[in-house]
Chains A and B, each alone.
Chain A
């Protein structure tokens, strides 16, 4: 076995020289001071490769045109096995890449590793940082939901305000007439066609220069023997990569990335917010008003980027120990404080989501249910029915199959006196009124093994809104999803016809807003009214 492996290596060496090249690469001698602080470059490279991997997988199920993009992403999230995980890896991987690339830059900056002869390595590194940010900016539009659309509207308007270059930038971004199909095509092309090969070339050149000049020694390293890159440093790099990957994987599994509603260019109430790593720029913008706005939007960021490129030419002193680089450390600390302060201010000034949003990254089968069935979900949750009746629990039967052999009348008798209908049942009676029990039975009749997990996604605001709808007997005049009377207008499509504030005001005084209406006024509590309006606005057209 070992002999065969050696033969294979010899065969490959003669024909390709690859084993020798790898050995040469791994045998690089690094300074004695090398160690854990030098892992960030490897982690950034690993994250880039992971982004390419998850990005290609997403592209296998993604249609890159507006509208289709949204529907195909929704398909990935709700129907494709593992789709949610792959999207999570790509989404969180983008954020982690920014973090790690910045940490890499900070390490190099603090240690002064950009000094002669490594100036070009630094410049390529800054270029790679800008590419990473461009990935974030262009990728933000690709889900084509409201968040993506309105975030990009702001970004393109900032580009348009740039002195001199503004109008050309707008045309280049395909946003001369606002964000539209051309903008989308350009962003997609930049994200998947232009940036990846550019990044690979720059990484190649960057790593080549690192090898050419060697890992930066610290003062005092000259006296000490050098050590090999493999295996000790490779192990440290791998361990750091593993920690980064564990964080990324946990985020992808546990932290849900929501998908908002399909981009609606007419939704003027939407308050756009950029991705967290751009929030500091967003906040900087607020300090400049009127004609000075371009100072915050383009001039300051432009100067900052130039200064970053120029770092090796500004600081040209001799290499000193990292502990004596107080100016650099203070500078990083100040930048960190400034960045945190701006970001925190931006987060604080973000209005709390006033209205409940439907998360379209989960199945939305529930929007087809009648209000009575939706209210049934609320009682199902309140009474904690799933505590005994979940699949896999032995306490009560699986309710997803109840509708096959039981009718509503049987269920309601059973809710009231479980033991009378099914002798020996350990179930306590359900202490609800007749209307509520009807709702509960109506929901259980709709429940099947196929839709159980999708219906479990029904948001709380919607099921509570349906309870308010039921207790107000709205169905006596209105129709929702084909159920109810036609005395008043059907409520599907309300979101298209009216604003939320109009609907809220209308409850209290219908005649004021629709003269001649026979709808009685409703005095609802703030919470009830919010849930009911949000529920009605989530209904399908």
Chain B
């Protein structure tokens, strides 16, 4: 304040004008930057609205599966990829349990995504890439696979098996 008193009034007025201009430039600039930047962040970071509709695909009559004999089934499903709907071929390993319950595993090894198969002799799922072995319930016996086999959501309608989304074991628990 003492500084201000020592300068002539005209210079002080000039200084406050200068301060007003500088504050105005910064303030208006910041307002524009925020009005452009925040919507841009929302545009880039908020996931699009397209809700993943639970689409159930029929994979076959339940009685074509035999208990204790895993069977690989192929089916087509529509996947929505942003503005595109892609029809994709997909497969599942279906295991029927003794009590009549059914589990459908995703067809890829949980290690690096190779296609595994059912070894009838050993009664295990075997991945040819790095020799991961899984039990009939999907759990890991040996090998580098980090988690049990992924499972499809399943339901039975009028004796037909339907599969839904593929879930990892951690997603199932969540």
Contacts and interface: CB of A to CB of B under 8 A. Distances in A.
B28 interface: yes
Interface string A452-494: 0000000000000000000000000000000000000000000
B11 to A, nearest CB: 16
A239 interface: yes
- Give the most central of A89, A231, A249: most B CB within 10 Å: A231
Contacts of B39: 82, 85-86
A482 B144 CA distance: 51
Interface string B37-61: 0011011101011110000000000
Contacts of A505: none
Contacts of A245: 32, 35
Contacts of A83: 43
B83 A242 contact: no
B82 interface: yes
B7 interface: no
A71 B21 contact: no
Interface stretch (A73-81, A110-118, A426-434): A73-81
B31 A242 contact: yes
A82 B43 contact: yes
Contact of B28 (A53, A79, A238, A450): A238
B83 A68 contact: yes
A287 interface: no
Given A57-B44, A249-B35, A239 B28 contact: yes
Nearest to B25: A238
Nearest to B38: A82
A80 B156 CA distance: 36
Main secondary structure of the interface of B (DSSP, over half): helix
B18 to A, nearest CB: 6
A231 B21 CA distance: 6
Interface in B1-44: 17-18, 21-22, 24-25, 28-29, 31-32, 35-36, 39-40, 42-44
A63 B81 CA distance: 13
A50 B31 contact: no
Interface in A57-76: 57, 60-61, 63, 68, 71-72, 74-75
A80 B29 CA distance: 27
Given A72-B82, A231-B21, A53 B40 contact: yes
A61 B3 CA distance: 57
A75 B82 contact: yes
A78 B82 CA distance: 11
B83 A239 contact: no
Contacts of B64: none
Contacts of B29: 238
B32 A53 contact: no
B89 to A, nearest CB: 23
A80 B43 contact: yes
B21 A60 contact: no
B84 interface: yes
B83 A72 contact: yes
Given A75-B82, A75-B83, A245-B35, A238 B43 contact: no
A241 interface: yes
A185 B18 CA distance: 51
Contacts of B84: 68, 71
Interface in A74-103: 74-75, 78-83, 85-86, 89
A298 to B, nearest CB: 38
Contact of B83 (A74, A81, A231, A249): A74
A86 B83 contact: no
Contact of B21 (A50, A72, A81, A235): A235
Interface in A215-231: 231
Nearest to A56: B40
Contact of B25 (A61, A89, A234): A234
Nearest to A235: B21
Contact of A79 (B21, B36, B40, B49): B49
B26 to A, nearest CB: 9
Contacts of B35: 245, 249
A74 B48 CA distance: 12
Given A68-B83, A81-B46, A249-B35, A86 B40 contact: yes
Nearest to B17: A232
Given A72-B82, A242-B32, A249-B35, A231 B43 contact: no
Given A71-B84, A74-B83, A57 B51 contact: no
A50 B36 CA distance: 9
Nearest to B36: A53
A420 to B, nearest CB: 38
A81 B43 contact: yes
A242 B48 contact: no
B54 to A, nearest CB: 12
Interface string A232-251: 10110011011001000100
Contacts of A60: 44
B67 to A, nearest CB: 38
Given A71-B84, A245-B35, A249-B35, A57 B28 contact: no
Given A68-B83, A235-B25, A81 B42 contact: yes
20 contacts: A53-B36, A61-B82, A68-B83, A75-B83, A78-B49, A80-B43, A80-B48, A80-B49, A81-B43, A81-B48, A81-B49, A82-B39, A82-B46, A85-B43, A86-B39, A231-B25, A232-B21, A238-B25, A238-B28, A242-B32
What are the 10 A-B residue pairs with the smallest beta carbon separation, nearest first?
A231-B21, A75-B83, A82-B43, A235-B21, A81-B46, A71-B83, A79-B48, A242-B28, A82-B39, A82-B42
Given A82-B43, A86-B39, A242-B31, 17 more contacts: A50-B36, A53-B36, A57-B43, A60-B44, A72-B82, A74-B83, A75-B48, A79-B50, A79-B82, A80-B43, A80-B49, A83-B43, A86-B43, A231-B25, A235-B21, A235-B24, A238-B28
Interface of A: 50, 53, 57, 60-61, 63, 68, 71-72, 74-75, 78-83, 85-86, 89, 231-232, 234-235, 238-239, 241-242, 245, 249, 450
